[in-house]
Structure 1
């Protein structure tokens, strides 16, 4: 069922994003399960480039493309798509591209200038060393030096897209959903569930903090489980 994205002010969007930076994907995944959202995890092939890329947290801005041979000279629709990115967005790239990069250093710089806080790429990237110098987290399916020009074209943006899933073949990502990625992997949180998920994830995070503290002070694991239950 399609839902209307919740309208949030720029201040609220950033405040929520900063709070998500303080919780782990593992806690968020547990919350999603309790809410009956069992297939929001993305495939483990989507990994950070480089490994030290950092945490990915932001609002989905979707870009879709396909393999489509054309003459050298650039893809104007890719530039149009990227020009719509705004503060706090994570660009989510999808499509049937294989063996080619969807974007590299220069597009990353341009998106960062517009306030973009990272990218999720169900496809290829290049210029990894230089992107790393931009402090711009990127999770991607593969890396390749082969450019997309003359091979792969953008054919839509800010539309629902499909990204490879962890427990399902595909996960639908809609504009305005929240994307969260860390060392454990990447999740997509539906826009209308963001606030509910965040509050509960923060509660679990605090619960785990208390358990760690008590374990360090000598509480046994069995005693911790008896006191706090499963975490």
Structure 2
């Protein structure tokens, strides 16, 4: 029997009881040992937590392309498909963008405002963000490799979305669960969600028992031998 009825309940439990390292531990036991994106990807504020279904977005650099001479209307279009990708966000989805260099920002304040209106869960970009003060004021969970004010307008285009993408050599499919906090960002394949989060919830609740035992003086070896958790 599942410990949750739907995504909303699962994500609420995750916010209240879980953290990324714990879910990562369970994924390790499942043989999924390469699910954390690069440690360079950090939240704009340390207390930001993101969890939701992936809205995958593929961006590419265009700064060396003569846009006025290009025959592809997508490349000549401002920001490519970025507006369509952003406007298609649904409740509890995470804007997951990769493919760009670090020479410009892939996420910012106005994008955060639109995403919040659509009830999206957050943004995780394999690139830079800008408008840090605005993102902090909004409190919208945003993760990137760092702040850089340079605009993507003349430098990058979104060329596809709702497609499989490669984020730091991790395959991300639309609908995979993204879970991030200050310690890292995890990609949990859709097929692994039930097992991974069930195990993580059970371990989190078991760790409370271990914590109480340690506080009462039990040694770490005895605690591990007794509860199998550490």
Q: Same fold (TM over 0.5)?
A: yes
Q: CA RMSD in A?
A: 1.7
Query: What residue is the counterpart of 2:186 in the other structure?
Result: 187
Contact 2:46/2:181 (<8 A) preserved? no
Query: What residue is the counterpart of 1:222 in the other structure?
Result: 221
SS in 1 for 2:18: coil
Mapped to 2, the partners of 1:73 and 1:163 lie a distance apart of 25
Deviation of the 1:226 alpha carbon: 2.1
Matched, 1:178 2:182: no
Matched, 1:65 2:64: no
Alignment: residue pair count: 215
What aligned pairs does 1:17-166 form with structure 2 within 5 A after superposition?
17-21=11-15, 22-52=17-47, 54-69=48-63, 70=67, 74-75=78-79, 77-164=81-168
Per-residue CA distance 1:60-99 (angstroms, 9 max, x = gap) = 1011110113479842521111111000011101113231
Deviation of the 1:13 alpha carbon: 1.9
SS in 2 for 1:143: coil
Deviation of the 1:130 alpha carbon: 0.8
After the TM superposition, which segments of 4 or more aligned residues of structure 1 sit over 3 Å from their partners?
A: 69-74
Query: What residue is the counterpart of 1:13 in the other structure?
Result: 7
Which TM-score applies when normalising by structure 2?
Answer: 0.88
Mapped to 1, the partners of 2:201 and 2:7 lie a distance apart of 17
SS in 1 for 2:113: helix
Task: Name structure 1 gaps, 5 residues minimum.
Answer: 1-10, 165-169
Deviation of the 1:171 alpha carbon: 0.5
Deviation of the 1:174 alpha carbon: 0.6
Which TM-score applies when normalising by structure 1?
Answer: 0.88
Structure of greater Rg: 2
